[in-house]
Amino acid sequence: MAIDTYLKQIARGARGARDLERIAARDLFAQVLDRQASDLEIGAFCVAMRIKGESPGELAGFHDEVKTRLPALRASRPVILLPSYNGARKTTLMTPLLARLLASRGYAVLVHGLHEEARRTGSEDVFAAMQWPVATDQQSIEQHLEGDGLVYCSLEVLCPDLAALLRIRRTIGLRNSGHVLAKLVNPMQSRALQIVNYTHPEYPAVLEAFFGLHPANAVFMRGHEGEPVPGPRRLPELAGNINGLPISTEPRFFDTTPAIGDADISVQATAALYRRALSESDAMPPELTAMVQTIERVFPATVSLR
């Protein structure tokens, strides 16, 4: 169906717009990703969905299409996927450090993202500064997961079509449905767990419904500055499903001086903090340690994940 037909349904404002069926949503997203529509039509799609908001069925349809464009990867041990798309804005970026801690506990960890804002410090830059593996092509992802147990992969490598949709933000100044989908991608065909962060309070219900339509081992949490990590002094609630069973943890609070502070967020300062935290146990942010311990408790590295 032509994209203008879909736009007539989704672009009638927050109250007049209607949700697309899953099959229709996939067809629409295929046209957007393939650039079969004009730039004006794709811009209209981005703004319309930003105003209306994605329904679980629409997200499932969008994901159906994205999944066909992902590599089919496998690993011999459970893989944890960490989406890192915001980077550091006011406080130190902790996603790469969380990945390193999880890898040290026996998991293989795939951090994926896209560095969009030069004024923010992104995970790719931190990985490079720490001399941790950065995948340059799809084939090297599996190699690093097996050999190093840790790798960063840009969305440009993982799914170029979706990365191009995210780049539209540079033109229209707004995030779009691609940013939501990027945090949900999972290229693993073997045992894997997705940690999906959200910011807006309505998203837990949307994510729960989405994973009901698109079953996967997934845990969602209110992230810090748009990243899948706890903020200073607080580990938020973790909720989701593992092997089809619901899990939920209570939030925890810490009365300590935060290592994640309003300080220098540059790559150099971040790397220096990481080296200190990895060499001195009392320098490790307690909320980060608590998150790793929680993950180990609810799905240990030896767990048999479907």
- 3-class DSSP state of 83: strand
Kindly state whether residues 42 and 93 are assigned to the same domain.
no
pLDDT at 258: 58
Q: How far is CA 199 from CA 43, 77, 179, 189, 196, in A?
A: 23, 30, 12, 28, 10
Residue 60 within a domain: no
* Number of domains into which the chain is organized: 2
- Angstrom distance (rounded) from CA 109 to CA 81: 6
Residue 59 within a domain: no
Residue 164 within a domain: yes
Kindly state whether residues 120 and 158 are assigned to the same domain.
yes
Mean pLDDT of the region 25-37? 97
- Which residues in 271-280 are b (16+ Cβ under 10 Å) and which e? bebbeebeee
Residue 148 within a domain: yes
Question: What tens digit of pLDDT does each residue of 119-148 get?
Answer: 889 999 999 999 999 999 999 999 999 999
Kindly state whether residues 19 and 89 are assigned to the same domain.
no
Mean pLDDT of the region 175-190? 95
Q: Is the pLDDT of residue 201 over 90?
A: no
Q: Say if residue 236 is exposed, middle or buried (CB neighbours under 10 Å; 0-12, 13-18, 19+).
A: buried
Residue 65 within a domain: no
DSSP letter for each residue of 41-78: HHHHHHHHHHHH---HHHHHHHHHHHHTTS--B--SS-
Kindly state whether residues 85 and 40 are assigned to the same domain.
no
Residue 33 within a domain: yes
CATH number of the structural domain spanning residue 222? 3.40.1030.10
Kindly state whether residues 130 and 229 are assigned to the same domain.
yes
pLDDT at 1: 85
Residue 279 within a domain: yes
Question: What tens digit of pLDDT does each residue of 246-294 get?
Answer: 989 999 998 766 555 557 899 999 999 999 999 998 889 999 999 999 9
pLDDT at 306: 46
The residue with greater pLDDT, 126 or 244, is 126
- Owner of token pair 């992230």: 223
Residue 71 within a domain: no
Kindly state whether residues 28 and 176 are assigned to the same domain.
no
Question: What tens digit of pLDDT does each residue of 54-94 get?
Answer: 999 999 999 999 999 999 999 999 999 999 999 998 999 99
- Domain of 189 in residue numbering reads as 79-298
Kindly state whether residues 181 and 256 are assigned to the same domain.
yes
